[in-house]
Structures are given as C-alpha cells and as structure tokens.
Structure 1
Amino acid sequence: MTKREFLDKLKKALANDLSGNVIRDNVDYYNDYITEEVRKGRKESEVIEELGDPWAIAKNIITSEEIKGNTGETYDSYEPERQRSQTYEQGYDEESGHRGVHVFGLDTWWKKLVLLLGIIGVIVLVVAVIGGIISILAPIFIPLLILCLILKLVKDSRR
C-alpha cells in the first residue's frame, strides 16, 4: 500500500464520524510521520506496514475523539444553514461529490416500495400467526362452545 492509499483510507474511515478539522489534523499527522520516517532512510512500505490497518487506526482516533467530545455531532451540526457552511469541514469528498453523512430517507421510489412491502409482509405474518392459532384451537373450542350451549338450554328448560 502506498502512502496516498493509506491516507485516503484513513480519511474515508474518519469522514463519517469526525469534523473536517479533526480529520485534517490526523491525516496531516500521519502524512508528516510517514514523510519523516522515509527521510530517515526507511522504505515507505515498511513504515506503512508498521502503522497497520488505517481502519483500525481510525477506530482508535474516533474513540479518542468521542471521549474528548470532538466528534462534531452537536445539535448545531444538524441545522441546515450550518450544514451548508460546513460542507468542506465535515468530510466532503470533492471527487465523488458526496458528504460523509448517511441518512436513510424515502426519497426514491424503490425505498418507498421496500417500506410498503415490508409493512405488507408484517401484516401477512401477523394474520398467518393468528390464523394458525385459531386453526389449532378451533377443534377444541367449538365442541366446548356447543356443549356449553346445550347445557345452558337443558338448564333453562328445567326451570
């Protein structure tokens, strides 16, 4: 893995959980570290191998930032005006044009269809379970109900 690949993976792993400044600081730190170690005479691949998986490093950074309270997840970060002004601060990927925020909305027809089919599936499952219970209990309760009615009629006719 090259230094660029390592830093891109690290940036991508941090993008969904941290603010732009924190991401930039960490990516710059690892960029400077790798550059400095290469200047000392080490191979770039050796330094990157020693650092390990960028996703594991990102997990540690995110955990550390959560403890410090620097995840960028505040009430203000959900306000539309503030979101527009922080486009480049919160992990905007210029190449793909996507932000680092994942939201499941019902903005496309197929998502609405999946939701509708899921609801219908749950209703069908509930009806099937109730029908199954009734089919199991009906052979027992119907004769009991008939017996109770006969006993009541016999009791009423004696009076």
Structure 2
Amino acid sequence: MTKREFLDKLKKALVNDLSGSVIQENVNYYNDYITEEVRKGRRESDVIEELGDPWAIAKNIITSEEMKGNTQESYDSYEPGRRRENSYEQDYGSESGYRGAHVFGLDTWWKKLVLILGIIGIVVLVVAVVGGIISLLAPIFVPLLIVCLIIKLINGRRR
C-alpha cells in the first residue's frame, strides 16, 4: 500500500464520524510521520506496514475523540524524531478523574439500532399493558353492556 492509499483509506474511515478539521489534522499527522520516516531512510511500505490497518487507526481516533468530547486537539503538534508521550494525565487529570462529560450521540449504526429496538420495546410494552387491562375489564363490561342494550330495547318498545 502506498502513502496516498493509506491516507485515503484513513480519511474515508474518519469522514462519517469526525469534523473536517479533526480529519485533516489526523491525515496531516500521519502524512508528516510517514514523510519523516522515509526521510530517515526507511522504506515507505515498511512504515505503512508498521502503522497497520488505517481502519483500526481510525477506530482508535474516533474513540479518542468521543472520550474528549471533540473539544481538544487530537494530537500534539508533530515534531520529527519525537515520539508521542502517553497523554493520560492531560486527558483525564492525574488526581481529579475525568474532567469532561460524554454526550450520547447517534453517530454509529449500533447506537441507532439500540434506539430503534428501545422504541419498539416501549410500544410492545404499552400494547401489552393496554391489552391486559382490557382483558381484565372485558368480563365485567361486556355483560353490563349487553344488559344496558336489552333495557334500552325494552324501553324503546314500550313507547
């Protein structure tokens, strides 16, 4: 796979879940990384193979952005020769715990499916409750209704 193919697949994997600026930032990061490694003498194909599947990378980026609430930068500025440090303390705080709030969004297919199944479940529950109430009251109201109709028919014939 070439650098262009890798970056195109990465961009395609990110396009439905992230904003354009976050996508461009991540594509630029990997473009710069591959370029710098090739400049150091490594083969482009080896660098891309080492990075792995762009779809798996995209999944990690999307998960990271969801945890951040899409409010923070997704990567520190790229500096050649410097490896990215673990930014756990930056993202979560060392003592105070997670500082952001996660907002539930319908941004993936499985979340939409869960919502649809939940709505169907509520509709089925309402129908079951209403049907249960009707089945409990029917033995009382049906005979009462028949008696009322008979009385009305009898009173109608007397006039």
Length-normalised TM-score, structure 1: 0.44
Ranked by relative contact order (alpha carbons within 8 Å, sequence separation 6 or more), the top structure is 1
Length-normalised TM-score, structure 2: 0.44
